[in-house]
Structure 1
Amino acid sequence: MKMDIKIMNPSSNIAICTLWAKKELVLKALRETQKMVNIIGTLYTVYGINYLLKTLAKHGKIDTLIVFGPDLSGSGKALITLFKEERVPKGLRLIWEWDKVKKIVNTVKMIDLRHAYGSKEGIRVLKETIKENFRHMERSVRDEEDWKLEEVKLRSFPVPLAGFYIHDGDLFYLWFKAVYLVMKYGFLKESEYGEIQKEVIGLLSVLEVYDRIKDVNNIITKFSEVMNPEGFKKHVDSLLNAKDCEKVSYTYGNRLFSNDVYGDQIKYIIDKLGERPMSRRAIATLWLPSDRESDTPPCLVLVQGLISGNYYHHITVFRSHDIFGAWPLNAYGQLILAMKIAEGLSKKLRRGIKIGNLVIFSISAHIYEHDWMRAEEFIQKYKDRVKVRFVPDLRGNIIFSEGRVEHRVESGEILNVYEENYDELKFETGFLSADHAFWLGYEYGRKREIT
């Protein structure tokens, strides 16, 4: 994290913390009074207090800290608590020992002007406060030290996060995104197997097929760089086989094609959609009442099929999903199953039905500790390749055109037209893919610089 500070008068005793306000705007408003300020800087997060303390430790002439700005994240409140109440506020993880920090706290006067920011008299109050407290310092009020700020990388994201969406037209790179996401944002917790895991809740992975996949064997070839290709073939054989396996209590194939309660559920999906293509009731359930007491209940609990036009969409729900160890086999198997269903629907409806989307909803998306090292190696090996890939956004393209913005679908027709302004673009980009939204923001900023 880079320290967002500016030094004006090293002999001054005053520092200003602008919190979320741009320090350049505050300095401009201060005019000649800024000559009485030693340092000015922002403070966006509570954690950033560590950087503020490092700055005060290095600049020993500062004995007055004025807080003036919008406290959007509670960083200002935490800072005030630290200095005025002489205690570590909730949510602040200090890098240094309290006895070391206390030397700063005891030699710096805190002036809280958060209430004045944004008011008509705000700048006047700030100027008067600076003038009243300014002193030209010949000596430091404490020993000046260059504190080393060595941050410890988090093993776990601090809060459990839910609701992630990733998409791609390539199954291998979709898996990469899932692994990267769980390793970065996963919350550390125990599992029922006695091993810790990183977990995110509610991961929606969408493989946008739409004629992009010509040969499924190419998928296995890509994955063979990381995994044993024989595993894919065995999984598909098991998935498409209705027979029980003696070595396990059930198989997905048995639950789908020869379910004790529902019978052949894949035939049901084909028949249901074949009779009523608009149906939302073509569902296969793999969870049985007896699974509540089982030590090895199925991870895949539901499969649903939908038809839109000439496209079949295959939606799957996994209650528990091992993203590094099992996701590739599961995803590949469901793609093959979707193709089988689409083939059956083509015969039933007497028209060509193609695969649209393969949707995989992982309620608990996790990676076990024994796979963390391999997952990190996998990320390092392929990250640069993924970063430069272009993934088309099926939501369409955004075109800047003479003061207006056109939203055109992939085939070229206009979906919407709206004004070229920040608020409108911010709203619209919330529904685009993340990389598309990033590009749009970049282009908008570039256009504003030019004009």
Structure 2
Amino acid sequence: MIQKSHITQFQYAAQHKPNQLIYGSGQTAIITGWTVKQAIAKHLQTSDYAVIGQLYSPTRGINLLIRNLLLNPHVRYLVIINATKEDRNAGASQCLLDFFNSGVEENISDTGRKSWVIRSQIPGYIDIEIDINALEKLRQSLEVVEAKSISEAVEKIQFYAQKPTIEPWGTPLEFPMLTIEPTVLPGTRYGHRIEGKTIAETWVKIIHRIKTTGTIRPTGYDGKWQELIDLMAVVTEEPEDFYFPEPNYLPIDRSFLTEYISQVLDDAPSREGVKYTYGQRLRSWFGKDQIEQVVDKLIGEIDAASAVMTLWDVKDHEKGGSPCLNHIWLRVVDNELSLTATLRSNDMFAAWPANAMGLRALQKHIRDQINQRSEYDLRMGPLMTISQSAHIYDDTWSNAEQLIKQQYAAVCRKLDYADPAGNFLIEVANGEIVVTHTTPGSGEIVGCYSGKNALKLVREICTASPAIRPDHAAYLGMELQKAVDCIKIDKPYVQDQ
């Protein structure tokens, strides 16, 4: 038989994420998982492969990958790299292998839609609109192998590249795809604050805020996202062993978290195909262990405002692949250690819960080290994240809507009525409304307002106390109007009655 020549024979056509792929002219598709695709491409000729692409998520990525493969029946070989901690954590490469080994069955996806569910311990879904016969034909027509390293992958790819060219397994297939364009309500684009006791509770509130008022914009990744700019999330009472709801609606579980925390706390050797870990950036990237530095800094000067760690390298501007987490600041106030982290770009649906738990683990590690090495006995203060681009990608909009439908009302019912801005005591005296503002807890009087116009009083109070909670301001408005009505009909007014 004639060996395949090195002239262009096939052209891979990608309907989904076309700008995220590296194209060749061969018959082997290479799925790199979390390994940087360029780390594979540099060892190959373009004639060795049809396409190279990364696969991060089984629930978000496999469906689009399968659609692209159905559109390119000239692909006859599939090399799936399953090599890193991140691959094992995410499970996407394994789930794709399970698809080719075990197929699918009809069931319900994580968004509540009827879907093809991959027979795997790792959740993975394919749109029900894709004909099952096409999926089975694809499974039967591709030779699929797993690679545990870059060198093993390159060896397998080059082996397939030496095989004779074979005919495509069929004609290109394209199936309709459901798209959802969200309704966006008016709202502030810049500068938001969301607070919750736990990461889970705060996350639901974040998703609701972005989903209802976020601006829809194109991304640099062949899609759209819904975005708010500069969103500060404050988590006040996350337990030290972390809170996972039952049933767990977070996009991570404890086993994933264990691996993820190590990527935040621990140093890691440089490996080909792996960009970095946050722990590597904090521990050794700049030649100093920054975690140790801030521990020493705060032990030596407990009131220091310069306990800072940075993950941004000026070289990141040149080479790309810059870290999303850029800056961490720790501060001790009233014997509490708080941590503030700035993330330049933050996938709030899929990544923020893990980001927050990893940062909370870092915060606890630093608190524990300070307590062990000094006479201080610090408590855990709040965790704050400032997400400069807080966004939800379009391929999780359905998931976000499902989360809001199932969890947001329940989270709102757990409202804590204590307002840090204080309490307001309302009474009527000499035909006027008198409002006394007291501090939370101690009840110290810090302000007094009087008048006969409810709206004017509310505006005066909110101007003087701009941090008052919106629901508290609404309550004041209702109570003050009740007081006005009581004055009009000469009826005694009693607050909350």
TM > 0.5? yes
Cα offset, 1:348, TM superposition: 4.2
Q: How does 1:125-204 map to 2 (within 5 A)?
A: 155-156=183-184, 161-204=189-232
SS of the residue corresponding to residue 188 of structure 1 reads: strand
Q: How does 1:47-446 map to 2 (within 5 A)?
A: 155-156=183-184, 161-209=189-237, 213-217=238-242, 219-221=243-245, 224-229=248-253, 230-244=255-269, 246=271, 247-261=273-287, 263-391=288-416, 392-401=418-427, 403-414=433-444, 416-421=446-451, 422=457, 423-446=459-482
User: Match for 2:296: what amino acid?
Assistant: D
Over 3 Å counting, the alpha-carbon distance change for 1:215 and 1:340 in structure 2 is closer
In the alignment, what sits opposite 2:46?
none
1:24-80 deviation line (CA, Å, top 9, x unaligned): xxxxxxxxxxxxxxxxxxxxxxxxxxxxxxxxxxxxxxxxxxxxxxxxxxxxxxxxx
Cα offset, 1:433, TM superposition: 2.2
Matches of 1:160 and 1:440, distance apart in 2: 23
User: Match for 1:394: what amino acid?
Assistant: P
Cα offset, 1:399, TM superposition: 2.6
Matches of 1:400 and 1:349, distance apart in 2: 48
Over 3 Å counting, the alpha-carbon distance change for 1:312 and 1:154 in structure 2 is same
SS of the residue corresponding to residue 317 of structure 1 reads: strand
1:145-170 deviation line (CA, Å, top 9, x unaligned): xxxxxxxx964467881011111212
* Cα pair 2:462 2:468 within 8 Å, conserved: no
Indicate the RMSD between aligned Cα atoms, in angstroms.
2.4
Matches of 2:389 and 2:262, distance apart in 1: 26
1:70-104 deviation line (CA, Å, top 9, x unaligned): xxxxxxxxxxxxxxxxxxxxxxxxxxxxxxxxxxx
TM-score, length-normalised on structure 2? 0.55
Over 3 Å counting, the alpha-carbon distance change for 1:447 and 1:171 in structure 2 is farther
Matches of 2:408 and 2:274, distance apart in 1: 37
Over 3 Å counting, the alpha-carbon distance change for 1:346 and 1:397 in structure 2 is farther
1:98-129 deviation line (CA, Å, top 9, x unaligned): xxxxxxxxxxxxxxxxxxxxxxxxxxxxxxxx
* Cα pair 2:421 2:465 within 8 Å, conserved: no
Cα offset, 1:371, TM superposition: 0.3
* Cα pair 2:252 2:354 within 8 Å, conserved: no
User: Match for 2:439: what amino acid?
Assistant: V
Matches of 2:250 and 2:182, distance apart in 1: 26
> % of aligned pairs identical?
25
User: Match for 1:426: what amino acid?
Assistant: C
Over 3 Å counting, the alpha-carbon distance change for 1:214 and 1:372 in structure 2 is closer
Matches of 1:260 and 1:427, distance apart in 2: 46
Over 3 Å counting, the alpha-carbon distance change for 1:205 and 1:214 in structure 2 is closer
Matches of 1:336 and 1:404, distance apart in 2: 48
Matches of 2:222 and 2:192, distance apart in 1: 26
Matches of 1:442 and 1:426, distance apart in 2: 14
User: Match for 2:249: what amino acid?
Assistant: E
Matches of 1:429 and 1:302, distance apart in 2: 31
Aligned length: 295
TM-score, length-normalised on structure 1? 0.61
* Cα pair 2:244 2:250 within 8 Å, conserved: no
SS of the residue corresponding to residue 244 of structure 2 reads: helix
Over 3 Å counting, the alpha-carbon distance change for 1:353 and 1:430 in structure 2 is same
SS of the residue corresponding to residue 289 of structure 1 reads: coil
User: Match for 1:341: what amino acid?
Assistant: I
- Which deviates more from structure 2 when the two are superposed, residues 386-395 or residues 286-295? 386-395
- Which deviates more from structure 2 when the two are superposed, residues 398-407 or residues 441-450? 398-407
Over 3 Å counting, the alpha-carbon distance change for 1:415 and 1:231 in structure 2 is farther
* Cα pair 2:200 2:250 within 8 Å, conserved: no
* Cα pair 1:300 1:317 within 8 Å, conserved: yes
Cα offset, 1:388, TM superposition: 1.8
Cα offset, 1:412, TM superposition: 2.0
| Structure whose alpha-carbon radius of gyration is higher | 1
Cα offset, 1:221, TM superposition: 4.2
SS of the residue corresponding to residue 480 of structure 2 reads: helix
1:342-401 deviation line (CA, Å, top 9, x unaligned): 112223441211122211101000000000000000000012212322223333333325
